[in-house]
Homo-oligomer: A and B are copies of this chain.
Amino acid sequence: MNDVNQYMQTLGSQARTAARRLARATTQEKNQALLAMAEEILAQANVIQAANHKDMQAGAKNGLDAALLDRLELNESRIQAMAEGLQQVATLPDPVGEISNLNYRPSGIQVGHMRVPLGVVGIIYESRPNVTADAAALCLKSGNAAILRGGSEAIESNQAIAKCIAAGLRKAGLPDTAVQVVETTDRAAVGAMIQMPEYVDVIVPRGGKGLIERVSKEATVPVIKHLDGVCHVYIDDKADVNKAVDIAYNAKTQRYGTCNTMETLLVAQEIARHVLPVLAEKYQSEGVELRGCEATRAILSGINSASESDWAEEYLAPILAIKVVKDLDEAMEHIHRYSSAHTDAIVTEDYSRARRFLAEIDSSSVMVNASTRFADGFEYGLGAEIGISTDKFHVRGPVGLEGLTSQKYIVLGDGHIRQ
């Protein structure tokens, strides 16, 4: 325990020193490092695969289920994708140093904002080893040093990738301590990392709810966290039926296991009779289990009954809760009560209702006539995402490079003094 703490303190201190160098790294240096990392990953593909093979064998021996083993696996195309991810981050605009709103004040000084890195970013993640490269790339491009703590089941893969990252940093003349991958699988490392505010400026946990809750609870460092995605689509009685059917079908069935998948469908009572039978047929042909309120079951006979707990559930599975509501107000009331404030959408052709929904629904993404599945850093044009924040503080929704930065004030004068 003491050794792990000591080890994490050393990583922290090294990261803090590297962060200062990274904060003033030029865009060119950072891009060179990213491209060199990608090259190294491609050159070392065999070494990475061999390391991954060890993890896969250990995983199988330890009884990891098929889904986890799939997430753990690094085949040739995934290694290729990892390298492409690094190259793609190199093409993104550098957020650091951006000066905005530089205006003259009555006193004669010019005041503006300059975008700056946060400092040291700690990332805690599970199974997928490609996160090691993705997270390193986003932290580096945003001028932050990174401490990465992957899952113990991916330790060999992560160490192999870490070597490529370090080599890329050195080639660009940047300190290889700018990205450090924790080498111990001791769980105490997580505890140490989230409680050293002197060395870590923000923690991003990426993984299951258990991990995120533990980190949020115990951290003395700010956390960018992503909890549930209980997302809603509300079909208003002024909706275009075709759009409503397309969106509600897509939001549920395009992928089941993602956080931006619709979990509850709300339908205005006046239109329920027109859309529900069409939708039910489509859902059922895909094998989606429907669970409805009383009014829903009066229209769709034979489906299961939704209980109170269904409204709050993130199924991440081919199950959908359906509720018929009186109007927009009842729909918003339901969303206010049960939504996890991740992503909620309205389908309507009514201008005023669309405007109210946008203003009044307090979720990280609020949509009109679009599928909730669009709530994603790539779809939003962030280039890449380090996660999705369901918090309001600092950053909300998909988090890209900008979410890993802050802004300082700059003041330009010409000998100005305060009167």
For residue A210, CB closer than 8 A to chain B, the reply is no
CA distance A20 to B333 in the complex (A): 11
Contact-size category for A:
35 or more
| In the complex, chain B residues whose CB is within 8 Å of the CB of A393 | 118, 201-202, 222, 393-394, 406
Chain B residue with the shortest CB-CB distance to A407: B396
| In the complex, chain B residues whose CB is within 8 Å of the CB of A222 | 222, 393
Chain B residue with the shortest CB-CB distance to A398: B409
CA distance A103 to B382 in the complex (A): 12
Given contacts A97-B359, A336-B20, contact A243 B379 (CB under 8 A): no
| In the complex, chain B residues whose CB is within 8 Å of the CB of A251 | 417
Mark out the residues of chain A between 243 and 298 whose CB falls within 8 Å of any chain B CB in the assembled complex.
243, 246-247, 249-251, 254
CA distance A243 to B109 in the complex (A): 14
CA distance A120 to B35 in the complex (A): 45
For residue A363, CB closer than 8 A to chain B, the reply is yes
CA distance A411 to B381 in the complex (A): 12
Residue from B240, B254, B398, B408 within 8 A of A396 (CB atoms): B408
Please tell me if the beta carbons of B360 and A107 are within 8 angstroms of each other in the complex.
Answer: no
For residue A60, CB closer than 8 A to chain B, the reply is no
**Quick one: CB contact mask for A36-76 with B, threshold 8 Å, 1 for yes?**
00000000000000000000000000000000000000000
**Quick one: CB contact mask for A157-179 with B, threshold 8 Å, 1 for yes?**
00000000000000000000000
CA distance A250 to B107 in the complex (A): 14
Segment at the interface with B among A148-156, A323-331, A367-375: A367-375
Please tell me if the beta carbons of A374 and B411 are within 8 angstroms of each other in the complex.
Answer: yes
CA distance A103 to B379 in the complex (A): 12
Residue from B370, B394, B412 within 8 A of A109 (CB atoms): B370
CA distance A401 to B187 in the complex (A): 42
Chain B residue with the shortest CB-CB distance to A103: B381
Mark out the residues of chain A between 378 and 406 whose CB falls within 8 Å of any chain B CB in the assembled complex.
379-381, 392-394, 396-398, 406
CA distance A105 to B382 in the complex (A): 11
Please tell me if the beta carbons of B392 and A118 are within 8 angstroms of each other in the complex.
Answer: yes
| In the complex, chain B residues whose CB is within 8 Å of the CB of A238 | none
CA distance A155 to B417 in the complex (A): 38
Please tell me if the beta carbons of A373 and B105 are within 8 angstroms of each other in the complex.
Answer: no
| In the complex, chain B residues whose CB is within 8 Å of the CB of A379 | 105, 107, 109, 111, 418
Closest 4 CB pairs of A and B: A370-B413, A243-B415, A250-B417, A373-B418
17 pairs of residues in contact across A and B, judged by CB atoms under 8 Å:
A20-B336, A24-B360, A111-B379, A116-B362, A119-B362, A201-B393, A222-B393, A246-B415, A363-B408, A364-B409, A367-B411, A368-B413, A371-B418, A373-B418, A374-B413, A375-B411, A392-B406
